[in-house]
């Protein structure tokens, strides 16, 4: 069998149980991925299928399922995983039919056609001016983001406490050179002047105890916020926000942050179970939504760019 040319995605660390959050009626729903494996290779397989899936090429439900099944078969050549193809196909159907919440106008991945999406959008951000840092500007360090986080992230934000994680000697790395990466999905929602753009990042991370039944309530919005805060994902989400902000500033005529920047969605795929996905305070389980302020995104963009970002 052909071996993958690229390394598998390492976004699969198991996270500790965050407690049982159940829907309003007390119902507990088993994750559609409860019987599927964990690991970086599985994560890469799922990413690849979602990258190549094209809802516009599916005439009906049967055609959509057949397309996903075919993509699973094709991508397993590159990402060999021992699993039940039909179970994964059904889980991905559910993922793609899960409402993405208010920031995305409650659309679904299946309703975002090719004309409205960019998959695997790569970016490269010069840090500290890249190889042309102004000699009059002192080199910033990643830990400086903690100060900006405290200034611009309100206390009631679910990720407010992440500043304490950033304010640590481990984040004393100098911001220099270039930061490159890839956005799983950039997509647009709305029409005309109301059209806005979001980043979606796919996570196949298992939240909770692997020895216990895997229920969707592990992906309650509060549980996801706790899981995000114990990982590097908040910093990653901020970097993605800066990348999207710069991209839109360059490509969107008349760009205005408040109107065109929609935010970031972390899609914990194991918690997404279709149209019947539970909702808490308007937010579907499995979909962590965050929209940092314009002030924070611009301040961090300036910091990355080698400018002195005061406040």
Known catalytic residues? 201
| Joined tokens for residue 55 | 């809802």
The rounded distance, in Å, linking the Cα atoms of 122 and 295 is: 24
The DSSP secondary-structure symbol of 15 reads B
Beta-sheet pairing, 261-268 with 196-203: parallel
DSSP assignment, residue 95? Answer: H
Q: What is the DSSP letter of 207?
A: B
- Hey, which bits of the chain come out as E strands? 117-127, 177-189, 196-203, 261-268, 279-280, 283-284, 287-290
Q: What share of the chain is helix, strand, coil (3-state, %, to 5)?
A: 40, 15, 40
Contact 31, 94 (CB under 8 A): no
* The pair of three-digit structure tokens given for residue 84, joined into one six-digit string: 């039940």
State the SS3 of 68-121.
Answer: HHHHHHHHHCCCCCCCCHHHHHHHHHHHHCCCCCHHHCCCCHHHCCHHHEEEEE
Could you give phi then psi for residue 256, rounded to 5 degrees?
Answer: -135, 125
Interatomic CA distance for residues 269 and 172, integer angstroms: 33
* Chain centre distance of CA 32: 19
How far is 78 from 100, CA to CA, in rounded Å?
29
CA distance 219 to 122: 28
């Amino acid at each position: 069998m052909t071996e993958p040319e690229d390394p598998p995605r390492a976004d699969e660390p198991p996270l500790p149980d965050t407690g049982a959050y159940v829907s309003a009626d007390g119902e507990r729903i088993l994750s559609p991925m409860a019987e599927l494996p964990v690991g970086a290779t599985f994560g890469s397989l799922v990413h690849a299928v979602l990258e190549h899936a094209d809802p516009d090429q599916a005439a009906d439900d049967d055609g959509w399922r057949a397309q996903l099944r075919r993509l699973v078969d094709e991508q397993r050549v590159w990402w060999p995983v021992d699993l039940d193809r039909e179970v994964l196909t059904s889980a991905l159907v559910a993922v793609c039919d899960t409402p993405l919440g208010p920031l995305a106008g409650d659309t679904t991945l299946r309703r975002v056609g090719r004309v409205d999406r960019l998959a695997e959008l790569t970016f490269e951000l010069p840090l500290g001016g890249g190889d042309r840092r102004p000699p009059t500007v002192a080199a910033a360090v990643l830990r400086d983001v903690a100060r900006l986080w405290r200034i611009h992230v309100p206390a009631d934000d679910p990720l407010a406490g992440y500043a304490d994680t950033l304010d640590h000697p481990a984040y004393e790395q100098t911001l220099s050179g270039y930061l490159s990466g890839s956005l799983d999905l950039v997509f647009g929602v709305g029409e005309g002047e109301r059209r806005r753009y979001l980043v979606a990042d796919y996570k196949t991370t298992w939240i909770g105890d692997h020895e216990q039944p895997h229920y969707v309530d592990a992906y309650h919005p509060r549980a996801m916020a706790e899981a995000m805060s114990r990982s590097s994902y908040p910093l990653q989400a901020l970097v993605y926000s800066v990348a999207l902000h710069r991209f839109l500033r360059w490509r969107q005529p008349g760009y205005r942050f408040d109107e065109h920047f929609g935010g970031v969605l972390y899609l914990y795929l194991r918690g997404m179970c279709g149209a019947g996905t539970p909702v808490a305070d308007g937010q579907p389980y499995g979909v962590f939504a965050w929209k940092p302020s314009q002030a924070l995104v611009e301040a961090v963009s300036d910091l990355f760019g080698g400018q002195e970002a005061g406040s």
